[in-house]
Structure 1
Amino acid sequence: MEKVKVALFGVTHPHSKAHLKTFQLSEMVSEILLYDEDPEALAQVREEFGKGTMASYVNLDEMLGTETFDIGVADFRNSVNADLCLRLIEKGVHIISEKPIARTADELERIVNAAARKGLQVGVMYQNRYHPVSREAHRLVQSGVIGRSTTCEARLITSQVRFRDPSHWLFDKKRSGGGILSWLGCHYIDLLCHVLGDDIVEVSAIVDTLSGEDIDVEDVASLSFRFRSGALGSLQAGYQLAMSKAGYIGPNYDSYIGFRGTEGRLFWSPVDKPPKLRVESATEAWKDAPARTLKYTLPEVDCYGGAFGIAFLERFLKSTQGDGDPPASGRDALKVARVIEAAYESSDTGKRIKVRP
């Protein structure tokens, strides 16, 4: 395929530098443009990552009116990211965005529909789908190793809000749209659906703000849900670890993902090093070794998601040139957003909520 020219919008996002590293390491990217309204932040990033960046702008109108590029990387804060995406679509540019892409499901739906009308791809940064453990779990579940799936569960507990700058826009509902569910829980909701190949149709949830910090988004959440197939699932999420590193890259995690079925189960901790997938199966094909632990050695690559992050990105880039589907689409992000909004509604009303189709 032809190499692509990429424009990254927003260098102060917690993940922007990691995304920039990923694009710089991809052999499918020819040039990278940068935009941010903060000239000092832009200068700092250019100094640190100057290789491969051909130009930078502090005026968005000037950049969109002057430059031509193939891919827009949307890393604005949630309250303005949707408008950026719509402008990029109007310009005829494919988009890959940080999750959740927009503050609300309605905003996100407008982006998805606008891109579809223009024949453009919208991708979302759900790189965890491409982790070798996630991919193997998906393959095993889909091949029937655990039989008919009946339940799944996920746990995502990470550093307390005080380690993450409580004044950050992520903890301001007007600018973020939500708390830990829209920032981190979304990854696990997406993975549960992706591995099962199923959609969540009903949610019961309790969310709260218990950190004691001056924030107005949820920092703990407990969700139960039903999938279209009838399988049940749960998610526990929280900013709760009292002993952790500060910041957004490399904090401590306590995490778990597991799937159970009529013939077995599989489970893993996403933070295990080295990664391990544990599988138990009572199927005939596994009778010689019904319990197995699969261990993975991953290459050391300094970017967002490492080697599998590059593979995820390049699958998206190929999809923009007519080669297959994106690895995680705007419509996938929309499904997750609707689950999260159903969780908020459930917590507010005390009722079980059906997810909008």
Structure 2
Amino acid sequence: MTMKAIVHVALIGCGGMAAMIRKRYLETKNAKLVLLVDSNEEVCRKASAELRGIPWSTRFVDALVEGIDALDISTPNYLHAEQAVAALQAGKHVLVQKPLATTVQEAEAIAHAARESGTVAGMYMSFYDNGLYHEAKDIISRGLIGEVTSVRCRGAGVSGKYIPADNWRSSLVKTGGGSFIQLALHSVNMAEWLIDDEIEEVFAYSHNRFSPNIGGDDVTSATCRFRGGALGTLESSYCSYQYVVTVYGTEGYVTITNNRETELMLNARYEGSFIQVKEPNIPTRRTYEEFRMAEVCIENNPYNQHQAFITAIAENKSATVTVETGLRNLRIVDAVHRSAREHRPVEVGS
């Protein structure tokens, strides 16, 4: 594809999470949102009115025409593979909402198509919009909590009791699971990224006791072992509260709760754009009003993933979260699901 000064973008799926992020392309440098696609005509009309009358369609194939450079895919999980592969084979750049797909096999197909196309292909993870996680990674890499000993990550909310039985999120097949793939994928991704290590083995338990409309698990608890020796716990729940990521070290710890509250104890001072620790070896707590669960209220956010996607296209670089990373995340999810079914430890990728 010949690169143009302005990247023409089609948004595939305009409801759900896309309703929260679709305005971003109006403020994204070197990008122009040129088409909205959704199977629901009313959703298309509403989104078009909100976005200054951008053309819309209920047909996915309309996004594959010449003149459209990139597709931002925010459709239900079970449509990701078919749509992403078609877009990549048509020579489009692609950004897919997490999870990359519903199965490892589907994710492998996307990764293969991405390698063949040579275009930019990434997975959108909202946590990367949040500067607190970037500064937490910086703190850990500097050794300000000492050597990493363990990680605890939890993705949870009570939406399981509100999801209707006829919604795609209630389907085991259409989601690829239940609470773990839907809510803990952030945890899986963050656990590896924050400490720059890979999970090699998991042991998990799952059940569904409180969410009758959910086809998969409504609670999963997994322990894991990293290649470097650290241990971890990965939890998900559709029937209780709190997102939390904690990394423990020999000389301190870092905790981020609900994407906006931090608690840290470090072995030295730290001065970040957001996180500031004035006194070492003393717990420091703070709540950041500019951060919300799924939104960052900062003008010109340097970690805006949609801007990063467009910049990656312009500079012929990899996406912030590549589809290969999305594939690896699903290999971990698959290992957790298998462990829970078979009641045994499972090596990732085995």
Does the 8 Å CA contact 2:156/2:183 hold for their aligned counterparts? no
For residues 116 and 233 of structure 1, the distance between their equivalents in structure 2, rounded to whole angstroms, comes to 32
> Is this contact kept in 1: 2:268–2:279, CA < 8 A?
no
- Residues 282 and 23 from structure 1, CA distance in 2 versus in 1: closer, same or farther, beyond 3 angstroms? closer
Structure 1 Cα separation of the partners of residues 314 and 29 of structure 2: 15
Post-superposition shift, 1:107?
0.7
After alignment, is 90-99 or 162-171 more displaced?
162-171
Q: Secondary structure at the match of 1:258?
A: strand
Deviation at 1:231, TM superposition (A): 0.6
Q: What is the CA-CA distance between 1:158 and the residue it aligns to?
A: 0.8
| Partner Cα distance (1:302, 1:192) in 2 | 18
Residue equivalent to 1:50: 51
Partner of 1:216: 215
| Aligned equivalent of 1:290 | 281
- Aligned equivalent of 2:131: 132
- Deviation, 1:34, is 0.7
Correspondence for 1:113: 112
Q: In structure 2, do the counterparts of structure 1 residues 2 and 310 end up closer, same or farther at CA, with 3 Å as the change threshold?
A: farther
Q: Partner of 2:320: helix, strand, or coil?
A: coil
1:22 partnered with 2:10: no
- The alpha carbon displacement at 1:299 in A equals 4.6
Equivalent runs, 1:56-135 vs 2, <5 Å? 56-65=56-65, 67-135=66-134
What is the alpha-carbon distance in structure 1 between the residues aligned to residue 28 and residue 114 of structure 2? 25
- Identity among equivalent positions (%) equals 22
C-alpha displacement of 1:267: 1.5
CA distance in 2, matches of 1:41, 1:287: 49
Q: Amino acid of the residue matched to residue 17 of structure 2? A: H
The aligned runs of 1:344-355 (5 Å cut-off) are: 344-355=337-348
Instruction: Provide the rounded CA distance (Å) in 2 between the counterparts of 1:142 and 1:63.
Output: 41
Using the size of structure 1 for normalisation, the TM-score is 0.86
Q: Deviations over 1:314-344 (max 9, x none)?
A: 1121112235432211111111111110001
Report the Cα offset of residue 40 of structure 1. Answer: 2.3
Question: In the alignment, which residue of structure 2 is the partner of 1:281?
Answer: 267
- 2:224 match: 225
Quick one: distance in 2 between partners of 1:130 and 1:149?
24
Structure 1 residues 270 and 301 mapped into 2: Cα distance closer, same or farther (>3 Å)? closer
- In structure 1, the gaps of 5 or more residues are 242-252
Q: Which amino acid aligns with 1:316?
A: F
Q: TM-score, normalised by structure 2?
A: 0.88
Name the structure 2 match of 1:5.
8
Q: Distance in 2 between matches of 1:164 and 1:229?
A: 39
From the superposition, tell whether residues 173 and 303 of structure 1 become closer, same or farther in structure 2 (CA, over 3 Å).
closer
1:155-175 Cα offsets, whole Å, 9 max, x none, are 232114122334310110121
Out of 307, 318, 334, the position equivalent to 2:311 is 318
- Other-structure match for 2:272: none
Q: Report the CA distance shift for 1:62/1:192 in structure 2 as closer, same or farther (over 3 A).
A: closer
For residues 291 and 177 of structure 2, the distance between their equivalents in structure 1, rounded to whole angstroms, comes to 33
Further displaced range: 105-114 or 211-220:
211-220
- Aligned to 2:339, the other structure's residue is in SS state helix
Q: Which amino acid aligns with 1:58?
A: T
SS of equivalent residue, structure 1 residue 328: coil
CA RMSD of aligned residues (A): 2.6
Q: Deviations over 1:112-154 (max 9, x none)?
A: 1211122112111112134121111100111111122110102
1:255 matched to 2:243: yes
Question: Contact (CA 8 Å) 1:127, 1:305: kept in 2 or not?
Answer: no
Give the Cα separation in 1 of the matches to 2:211 and 2:35: 40
Report the CA distance between 1:287 and its aligned residue. Answer: 11
Partner deviation per Cα, 1:191-227 (whole Å, 9 max, x = no partner): 1111011111101001111125133211111011011
- Structure 1 CA distance for aligned equivalents of residues 254 and 27 of structure 2: 33
Q: Distance in 1 between matches of 2:59 and 2:279?
A: 64
| AA matched with 2:195 | L
1:191-206 matches, cutoff 5 A: 191-206=190-205
The SS at the match of 2:228 is coil
Equivalenced residue count is: 338
Q: For 2:110 and 2:67, how far apart are their aligned partners in 1? A: 21
Return the alpha-carbon distance in structure 2 between the equivalents of residues 347 and 118 of structure 1. 36
Query: 1:99: how far off?
Result: 0.8
Cα distance in 1, alignment partners of residues 312 and 187 from structure 2? 24
Map of 1:238 onto structure 2: 237
- Alpha-carbon deviation of 1:262? 2.1
Change in Cα spacing, 1:195 to 1:59, as seen in structure 2 (3 Å) is same
- 1:39 is displaced (CA, Å) by 1.8
1:322–1:38 distance in 2 versus 1, CA, 3 Å: same
